[in-house]
A and B are shown apart, each in its own frame.
Chain A
Amino acid sequence: MTPATPPQHVQTHALAVRIAHWLMALSVLIMIGSGWRIYDASPIFGFRFPVWATLGGDVETALAVHNDPGVATGIAWHFAAMWVLLASYLLFVFWGVFSGHFRRDFLPVGPKSFLRDFLAAARFRLEHHLGEYNVVQRVFYWGVLGLVALMLLSGIAIWKPVQTYPLVRLFGGFQGARVVHFLGMSAIVAFLLVHVALVILVPRSFIAMVTGRAAEPVRHRQGESVP
């Protein structure tokens, strides 16, 4: 390595962040799959999710054992994974606040810088460096953190509409809470699609989230001989 080499970009993730991230990933996938099975029992809109995409056990088995197509198991998954999601979300948020991770990596955000990075990204001109989040990325992370909070709150409202009635009213009633819960789910699914697509484009970010560290290969200047 010569002194002329530009600084290497490195992405590191603390162990707490990685544990929280993967527990959230697992529990969110379970929440979506089981949530779709529960939705299918009484759809809000004029469609159902295909059974293969849902979680609640084999339909034939569920009908034989439970006399229902897996709503019971779907609910059991949903109300188990919600605790894992709550715990990992709280771990992520508390760690993010108290370790300075949020302040260091998710801030600052502003409308101007967001617009600048958004336009650059839309023209595929946004340069990505490991270990550095652009403003669009930061806003997306804040957004999904807010969405999970919204899902937890609307979920509690649906789970306990009598015991948490003030919360239910905030969502415009029981049916309103169901609609908010559905829309929040849709937004999280949209986030996950973009999130996973970008990870596929930058596979080292995946390695960093698993092992805790990934570095971009050192770029050599043009004309320099590569050993």
Chain B
Amino acid sequence: MTSDRRHLLRGGFSLGALSLLTGCDLSDSGTVQRVLAGFSAWNDRVQAALFSGTRLAPTFPDAMAVKDFRYNAWYDADKAPDLKAADYRLMLSGLIADKRPWTVRQLHALPQVSQVTRHVCVEGWSMIGKWSGTPLKTFLERIGADTTAKYVGFECADGYYEGMDMPTALHPQTLMAFRLSDQILPRKYGYPFKLRVPTKLGFKNPKFVTTIYVTNQRPRGFWTDRGYNWFSGI
């Protein structure tokens, strides 16, 4: 979301604004919000039922991967966290047996795979990229996480927070991505790693992850708190 676009929209008018005139705000009234939230909760259940832990996201030839991947966040790229390997520690909490923090060097020593998949943004644009890293499943097993728990949550250095259902966390293509286009993940894309989840919308792929936790309480989501659907599977 760029500032000029916000400006453009700010000058506009909406059905919601129109209905203010009649004393009944269509989208923003409590009743409408509750009905929409009810449908969203129903959609969470439908999506969880549709999700298959073994169905793989389509993969593409390396040549189709975009080299200059689109930067996307609610802040400008130069405001992105600048994490240094020397200071960085990945913290673990919740239903995990071995909660010792991890250094970048330790993370990089984990077994890695690559994938060329399509990143789909909730706004409608999409882009094919190549990501490399460790399946989250491998890492969760390594740290003795309780994989019978319902959710895995993430806290990030830029104030972002996300979470996902355990079946998606254990999906073979859900990666802790250390590389983009065969390069160490550049700062603006989430160094030292981002979650790459090709079965979810882009905003369910948190960057600059500093804490991973396992829980039975549904984790909050940055954009979910701002009205987007929680499961957001694709």
Contacts and interface: CB of A to CB of B under 8 A. Distances in A.
Interface residues of B, number: 50
A80 interface: yes
Given A42-B125, A55-B15, A59-B12, A69 B6 contact: yes
A107 B68 CA distance: 55
Given A55-B15, A76-B40, A70 B27 contact: yes
Contact of A50 (B12, B27, B51): B12
B9 A163 contact: no
Interface in A69-93: 69-73, 75-77, 79-80, 83
Nearest to B19: A58
A76 B227 contact: yes
Interface string A8-46: 000000000000000000000000010000111110100
Given A51-B9, A58-B20, A165 B39 contact: no
B50 interface: yes
B141 interface: no
Contacts of A44: 124
A63 B55 contact: no
Contact of A42 (B25, B58, B121, B228): B121
Nearest to A71: B123
Interface in B108-129: 118, 120-126
A160 B40 contact: no
Contact of B229 (A60, A61, A79, A162): A79
Interface residues of A, number: 45
B17 interface: yes
A39 B124 contact: yes
A178 B123 CA distance: 12
Contacts of B124: 38-39, 41-42, 44, 178
User: Mostly helix, strand, loop or mixed at chain A's interface?
Assistant: helix
A50 B9 CA distance: 9
A58 to B, nearest CB: 4
Nearest to B55: A163
Interface in B1-30: 1, 5-6, 8-10, 12-18, 20, 25-28
B126 A73 contact: no
Contacts of A55: 14-15, 26-27
A73 B12 contact: no
B184 interface: no
A184 interface: no
Given A33-B15, A162-B55, A66 B121 contact: no
A54 B27 CA distance: 11
Interface in A92-106: none
B57 A57 contact: no
A74 to B, nearest CB: 9
A58 B27 contact: yes
A162 B12 CA distance: 35
Contacts of B39: 76, 79-80, 83
A162 B123 contact: no
A61 B33 CA distance: 13
Interface string B125-167: 1100000000000000000000000000000000000000000
A168 to B, nearest CB: 8
Contact of A163 (B42, B50, B223): B50
B50 A75 contact: no
Contacts of A58: 14, 16-17, 20, 25, 27-28
Given A56-B14, A161-B234, 8 more contacts: A54-B15, A59-B12, A61-B16, A69-B9, A80-B39, A160-B47, A160-B50, A165-B58
Interface of B: 1, 5-6, 8-10, 12-18, 20, 25-28, 35-37, 39-40, 42-43, 47, 50-52, 55, 57-58, 74, 118, 120-126, 198-199, 223, 226-229, 233-234
